[in-house]
Amino acid sequence: MKPTTSNKYLIIALLIGIAFHGTTMFFTLESTYDALIHLFFAEHYSNSWFEPWNYKWYTGFTVMSYPPLVHQSIAALSFIGGLKFGLFIITLISVLLFITGVYRFSLLITADRKVAGYASILAAISSSFVETLHVFGQLPSIIGISVLMHALPEIYLWLKTGRLRYLFTCLSLIAVTVTSHHVTPIFGMIFFIFPLIGLVLMDISKEQQGSIKAVTFKVFLSSFFKIFKRIVSFGALALAIIIGCILPYWINSKNNPITQVPIPHGSRDNFLEITSSGLMFFLIPWGVLLIMLPYIFYRYYSKRYLFFGLSITLLVVLGTGGTTPIPKLLLGDTAFNILTLDRFTLWGSIMALPIFGEFVYRLVEGDLKTLIQKKINAVYHRIIVGIFVSLFIFTSIFTVSLGYFRPSQPQKIKMLPIVNFLNQDQHDQWRYMTLGFGDQMAWLSAQTNAMSVDGNYHSARRLPELTTRPIERLENSKFKGVEGIGSLQQFLTIPEKYNLKYIFSNDKFYDPILYFCGWQRLRQLENGIQVWEKLNVPPLSSILPKDAIAKWQKILWGFVPFLTVLIAFILNIHLLVIRALKTKRKQTPDYLNFKNNYAGFSSRLLKITHIWSIILAIIVGFGVYQFYIKNDSHHSPENAILSYYDALDFKQFEKAHRLINPKSNLSIAQYMLEVSVTDGLLSSYAKLDAISTEIKAKTDTLASAVIKTKWITPLEKIDKTFYKTLVKVKGKWFINPDTVNSDLPPDQFYPNSETSYFNQGRRRITTEQTHHEDVLKQPVLEILSAKLVKHKQSYALIGEVQNIDNVPCDVVLKGTLYNDNNKELATYNAKYHVKHKLMPKEVSSFRIDFEGIAWSKTQDSIPKTFNPDEFTPVAFEEQPTKFNLQVAGNVSGSDLYKKTVLSDVQLLKNTVSGKLFNSGIKEITVPQLLVSYYDASKTLLWVDHMFIKEGIRQQREQYFEYPLHLNSTKVINTSMEHCFVNGLPNAAIANKVVSNRIKNHTHSQLQAINHLIYRYIKIETNAYLGSPN
Amino acid sequence: MVKLSLYIVSFFTVLFSFSLNNDFEFITSKTEFTAGHPIVLQFSTKTNTTPLLYVSNSFGSTLIIADKNNTVLSYKMPLDIASRAGIINWTLLTKTEQLQGKIKVLPKQSVENIQTYLGPPSIAAGGTDYSMLVAIPTDVYDNPLADNTKVAVTYQFRDQQTVDTIIVNNGISHKTIYSPLKTGRILSSSSCLGFNSKEYTINVMPGPPVNFNIAYKRHHDYADGNQITTFSTSIVKDVYGNTVSDGTYVEFFIKTSKQNIIKTSGTTINGIAVAKMKHPDHANSWSVQAFIEGMAESNRVELEYKSVISNFNIRLSNNNREIAIGPLKSFMGQIIPDGLEVTFFVYSKAKLIATQRKNSIEGYARFKLNPDQFPKGNYTIIVKTAGITKSLEHVVL
């Protein structure tokens, strides 16, 4: 083919690429992991191009923590058609850059336009590219590697010919690479440019010696010294550019080093153990390339490509993550834990593309075709090609539809109602947080001016509460076990610290923890998002702190990225024009002189490829069989139980019912009814964490199993053992159903009168601040008792608080501990141990635990297993001896359900059992017991609590067993001198409002217990209602 | 505006500066002006120079250029200065010794607005708690009116209407409104020089409750573990006979025959709190007393519940692995309503190894002894329901 004609393969590749990605991106991109984060950054630049400080996430962070080119490009385009327009245009550009990049890289490697054309077609829909774009959404990374591939021929030509023109073109392209993605040029140097230098040296040596076979190490070394100056000058300048173009990034990295605890990433898993990670980070990106691994290695280990062979070997090995210990050994612990290893696989698969193109060329129209036709027959060849093409297309379609079949994100949320809510009524004067939004939280942040405590770019996190936990976001903390919920509950308990007032919840899993941390439901927005609100949180101050950044850095950051593109464009434009318009006969680039001989495909290689394919087929077949056996729910009793609990966990009740013994005559309707009447922490808010089945007895048709389950709930970890019997009916195993609670309430239809409240908020329809006559008086509370106690190794404030006003009240209790020298030691709020909502004259016992920032001391003490109850006591350096207790009341009309009745109490040894009766007309979802302990003289010593796992329906009872506390408590300080209510001294308020208080009024009604340390207890009840309306 | 409108009351309303400077002489005789009226300070001069006049009041300072007419320099104060009540200091900026003095601006004696503050918006009945009304009548320039201006405070409670006159002192006037003995709503307003403020509200809430009585209602006096007994209070009132506010929390403590404390609660509506409790499932006597913690308590009420079940059968089948308890019959021989709790204890060698709880269905409770949980052996089974305990010794599985 003459070099002057257009390469029709490349054009086809571009057309396929645009058509394929240009259509699918509208359905995939917004549900990828990263695309919306880049959109958020773009929104930042579109508002303040030169100011890198962003207040919206993590109480403020700098966007200088990520190279800006892609974000700035989207921002620039957003001025024309909005942010998403910019995103899609940049995606299309990245597709074009990638396909042409692969073409040029392949041409460089293979020196054959046809092969390069094949490679570019394959690249257009190669699974690793599809995955990176449509599943991960890593635009900067794609653009980075694409531009790097464009730079490679220029580097080759500079090293080979020494013409300065090529030095400038290649450096200009490297500058673009680094401004779009910082990691790509650094590792690109090692994995792409070093082997390229080797290739140049080989070519020079070959030219000297006449044939590649004659190249010895000595010749090679002499070639090296010959172009040593070029290599060094290129290396030094490239390094200068990598550092210089994004200098503020490096300065920021140095000033704010990533000291955070590593965040687990699937690419570091053992792929054999965690097969889903293996699929995502190994099988999919390699795809069909796996079949031709022998060919790829064979070709890359030929003498000319030797260095590419070494490089791709390293990439393959590093890409295996935690499957083998080698990546960890090679990278070292730190790098291994910071880097996501999937990028090595991506680069490896890209590096393989030229050889892949070559193989396909030889298979479709080259010597391999001839060989197969000659050795076997033409039909076989056609079948082979057919299978091959089908497999290739299938992997691509499978990859692109991955997000459809196994959504990694919650369903698309309409953001407008939330944006409107935040804009209304000065709601954006407080910080907000989202729960269960997935990466869509970035899109919300991009659309509102309100600030979030959370964020979606974990490298920029600053709060120690976040950096000490291996969680990406608070937002999805339920997937992050103990660290997740542990982190979240700290934010929920002391929201004043972060001015956090609103929470948008898209996942009802978090509802109980919000309730028991003292949050209240505001309303459900039109898009189904539940808004939660916390009272008594001060608004953000109008001036917020930020890190000052030098002006020159801001200017450099704002101008350089686009400047690099501009320079690269100018330097490369005439080449592009020549190439596109074929205006003049261009001299052949040097690398085209090193043609391969595509005649005589080695029949041994063909044989090896066949054997390898058969091995692969067997492995895949075995995998699929295992998968089938594991997933055939009726195959064995274990399978039946696993799938039953799995179905229950994911609320697939129909599937669960199919596992119920058909002979038990339990209809699906009855089953669903039974499921629907069981509510509570365990059945509605628990995620199955671990399950182990022990088959105790098994005959051919009968089995009985002991099932030990561990459930994660937002409040605590629950261990529960079930006993099930199974039967085999017609060769399939089924589970016998359990009996249901048959309690029959006495009344069918009955009235209930209760007081309900409404707060007008602002009576006038105005955007002005609330008129002072509309501001409600803070309800008056009285602290009846408060004391500082030491229990085991931790300190706590305990006591009782009463609402002595005439309106219902939300209670916020904040305790501070001091030592003898009045030095403040710790401060915290009451969490679970208080009824946060009190009716007029109602009393609640309380306890304030002092929680430190968990695991801030050492990394290795992070527990391996999940426990939402996890509590990290503050490490006191000095002895707390005094305390200050601030109680704030705010009028609240919600969550005032007080119908949980203690209807039976039995004293057993070290256990109190009893029943809770729901005497009202709403269903109780999570009942809670608050238990206060008293000594013989009825002095309050300790306050404890217990959540009851099952809910209580109307007029029904729920049995509970509460194990009594066995540890003793030491009272340290009982002085109530520093107790304040709404900022006023407690004693004064108490005297004024209830001057004739009967002290210890209900002490006569304490429950006597038979206990070594404590003599009396008081049981109070509190209840979370899942659906209060 | 309050703090800004505090102006200095000076005994020297006029500070006459003796002219030591022979070139300029202060010739304006008036030293008190009303806010908003034009203020022109005049000086006679013998020279050709026209110095600037520096003026300053509590809001700020400025320089004024003179208007020269032959030998008279006139300095006209801008409205920003002339409209603010208070002292204006002036200095004539001559090169030699400077003339200086003060003039006083008085607020206009007409009311444009009355800034009114009332708080707290709710107080307790009984005459000790109070709310304070603060009224600041201001003129058109937002100057508080002069001291000793009279302000009428009107407030209405039930069928009583009161007018009190208070006077402005230091720019503000205030009135302490003590709570009456009864609950209700006090509406108040203020007026000054013919101008009336808008309406303000004080809610008078009841004071702490005093002791009350309780009663109970039930459909029958059997301990069937199913029906519900309702307790209710008399109308709970404070010491002045006001019904306590709706929502007041009353806790009912019940002492059972075993001296265990169970409890229920209710919130008042029109003073009456209603609380419910399920009947016990075995004969029992309850002693009930209600409390409003620290403030009030009720009388004590005693209730008896009669047993409905005197006996039941235990039937073993399927190698003793299935146990049926029943029929459980109620007081008229009817089958007890579903849900009576039957507790089932399994002991092996005097050690409790399992407890199961089941609710009766159609008069029976059935238990199965799973072979995994209960391997072959010799067990003792104890069944408890409706306060009756039965045991089966040496059950061989």
For residue A664, the chain B residues in CB contact (below 8 A) are: none
Nearest to A15 by CA among A150, A117, A153, A90: A117
Nearest to A127 by CA among A356, A333, A303: A356
Q: Is the pLDDT of residue B5 over 60?
A: no
CB contact under 8 A, B294 and A842: no
- pLDDT tens for residues B187-241? 999 999 989 988 999 999 999 999 999 999 999 999 988 899 999 999 999 999 9
ipTM: 0.85
| Alpha-carbon separation of residue B255 from A1000, B285, B290 (angstroms) | 18, 8, 11
For residue A1006, the chain B residues in CB contact (below 8 A) are: 261
The pLDDT > 90 percentage for chain A reads 49
Among B122, B277, B372, select the one facing A777 at the smallest CB separation.
B122
Q: Residue B34 CB: number of other CB atoms within 10 A?
A: 16
Among B246, B276, B291, select the one facing A1002 at the smallest CB separation.
B291
Q: What is residue B20's three-state secondary structure?
A: coil
More confident residue, A438 or A629: A438
Distance CA B262, CA A915 (A): 10
Among A743, A753, A755, select the one facing B359 at the smallest CB separation.
A743
Residues near A600 by beta carbon (within 8 Å), at least 6 away in sequence: A367
- What pLDDT is recorded for position A467? 73
More confident residue, A258 or B97: B97
Q: Is the pLDDT of residue A859 over 50?
A: no
Token readout for B278 is 């399920």
Among A697, A745, A998, select the one facing B295 at the smallest CB separation.
A998
More confident residue, A726 or B397: A726
The pLDDT > 90 percentage for chain B reads 46
- pLDDT tens for residues B108-157? 888 898 988 998 999 999 988 999 999 999 999 999 998 899 999 999 99
Rounded mean pLDDT, B18-35: 77
- pLDDT tens for residues B337-373? 888 888 888 888 888 888 888 888 888 888 888 777 7
| Alpha-carbon separation of residue B261 from A834, A910, A960, B255 (angstroms) | 21, 17, 16, 5
CB contact under 8 A, B227 and A746: yes
**How many Å is the maximal CA-CA distance in chain A?**
111
* φ, ψ for residue A856, nearest 5 deg: -75, -15
Rounded mean pLDDT, A231-259: 89
- How close are the terminal C-alpha atoms of chain B, in Å? 90
- With tokens 């393959």, the residue in question is A316
More confident residue, A464 or B292: B292
Position A582 confidence tier, pLDDT thresholds 50, 70, 90? low
A vs B, Cβ pairs < 8 A, gives 173
* φ, ψ for residue A410, nearest 5 deg: -65, 165
Distance CA A365, CA A251 (A): 53
Q: Is the pLDDT of residue A208 over 70?
A: yes
- The enclosing H or E element of A969 equals strand A969-973
Rounded mean pLDDT, A177-196: 91
- What pLDDT is recorded for position A898? 93
| Bridge pairing between strands B378-385 and B388-396 | antiparallel
- What pLDDT is recorded for position A259? 66
| DSSP 8-state assignment for residue B237 | B
Token readout for B220 is 């029958």
A163 at B interface, C-beta within 8 A: no
Distance CA A116, CA A109 (A): 9
A48 at B interface, C-beta within 8 A: no
Position A230 confidence tier, pLDDT thresholds 50, 70, 90? very high
For residue B260, the chain A residues in CB contact (below 8 A) are: 905-907, 1007
For residue B338, the chain A residues in CB contact (below 8 A) are: 742-744
| DSSP 8-state assignment for residue A136 | I
Distance CA B169, CA B172 (A): 5
Q: Is the pLDDT of residue B277 over 90?
A: yes
Nearest to A780 by CA among A811, A751, A759: A811
Residues near A934 by beta carbon (within 8 Å), at least 6 away in sequence: A940, A941, A1006, A1014, A1015, A1016, A1017, A1018
- What pLDDT is recorded for position B320? 84
- pLDDT tens for residues A52-94? 999 999 888 999 999 999 999 999 999 999 999 999 999 999 9
- pLDDT tens for residues A943-984? 999 999 999 999 998 999 999 988 889 999 999 999 999 999
Position A258 confidence tier, pLDDT thresholds 50, 70, 90? low
CB contact under 8 A, A901 and B129: no
Residues near A619 by beta carbon (within 8 Å), at least 6 away in sequence: none
For residue B360, the chain A residues in CB contact (below 8 A) are: 742
Nearest to A791 by CA among A946, A968, A1011: A968
Among A753, A919, A1001, select the one facing B293 at the smallest CB separation.
A1001
Position A860 confidence tier, pLDDT thresholds 50, 70, 90? very low
**How many Å is the maximal CA-CA distance in chain B?**
134
Type of residue numbered A266: G
Rounded mean pLDDT, A795-812: 94
Distance CA A443, CA A661 (A): 47
Position A599 confidence tier, pLDDT thresholds 50, 70, 90? confident
Among B117, B119, B338, select the one facing A742 at the smallest CB separation.
B338
Distance CA B157, CA B179 (A): 10
- What pLDDT is recorded for position B4? 42
- What pLDDT is recorded for position A1004? 92
Position A872 confidence tier, pLDDT thresholds 50, 70, 90? low
Locate the chain A residue with the closest alpha carbon to B365. A742
CA angle, corner A980, sides to A974 and A984, nearest 5? 145
- pLDDT tens for residues A489-515? 888 999 998 999 999 999 888 999 999
CB contact under 8 A, B339 and A753: no
Distance CA B53, CA B303 (A): 93
Task: Give the sheet arrangement for strand A781-791, strand by strand.
Answer: A843-849, A794-803, A781-791, A969-973
Distance CA A266, CA A276 (A): 8
Query: Hey, of B201, B202, B260, which one would you mutate to test binding to chain A, going by the most A CBs within 10 A of its CB?
Result: B260
Long-range contacts: B73-76, Cβ < 8 Å, 24+? Answer: B73/B24, B73/B42, B73/B43, B73/B44, B73/B45, B74/B40, B74/B41, B74/B42, B75/B40, B75/B41, B75/B42, B75/B43, B76/B38, B76/B39, B76/B40
Q: Residue B384 CB: number of other CB atoms within 10 A?
A: 17
Rounded mean pLDDT, A134-138: 92
- pLDDT tens for residues B283-316? 999 999 999 999 999 999 999 999 888 888 888 8
* Full DSSP string of A462-531: --HHHHTS--S-STTGGGGHHHHHHHHHHHHH-GGGGTEEEEEES-GGGHHHHHHTT-EEEEE-TTSPEE
Which value, to the nearest 10 degrees, does the dihedral of the CA atoms of residues A699, A702, A703, A704 take? Answer: -130
A613 at B interface, C-beta within 8 A: no
The pLDDT > 70 percentage for chain B reads 94
Q: Is the pLDDT of residue A593 over 50?
A: yes
For residue A722, the chain B residues in CB contact (below 8 A) are: none
Query: Hey, of B262, B277, B321, B361, which one would you mutate to test binding to chain A, going by the most A CBs within 10 A of its CB?
Result: B262
**In terms of residues, how long is chain A?**
1029
For residue A743, the chain B residues in CB contact (below 8 A) are: 338-339, 359
- What pLDDT is recorded for position A579? 62
- What pLDDT is recorded for position B293? 94
- pLDDT tens for residues A271-312? 888 878 888 888 889 988 998 899 999 999 998 899 999 999
- What pLDDT is recorded for position A693? 87
* Full DSSP string of B84-122: S-EEEEEEEE-SSSPEEEEEEEEPPSS-SEEEEEEE-SE
Q: What is residue B325's three-state secondary structure?
A: strand
User: Mean pLDDT score of chain A, rounded to an integer?
Assistant: 87
Side-chain-side CA neighbours of A350 within 13 Å: the count stands at 30
Residues near A487 by beta carbon (within 8 Å), at least 6 away in sequence: A465, A466, A469, A471, A474, A477, A854
- pLDDT tens for residues A906-957? 998 889 999 999 999 999 999 999 999 999 999 999 999 999 999 999 999 8
- What pLDDT is recorded for position A80? 94
Position A547 confidence tier, pLDDT thresholds 50, 70, 90? confident
Distance CA B312, CA B315 (A): 10
Q: Is the pLDDT of residue B173 over 60?
A: yes
| Residue A792 burial class via C-beta count within 10 angstroms: exposed 0-12, middle 13-18, buried 19 and up | exposed
- What pLDDT is recorded for position B15? 38
Q: Is the pLDDT of residue A19 over 90?
A: yes
Residues near A334 by beta carbon (within 8 Å), at least 6 away in sequence: none
- How close are the terminal C-alpha atoms of chain A, in Å? 76
Position A482 confidence tier, pLDDT thresholds 50, 70, 90? low
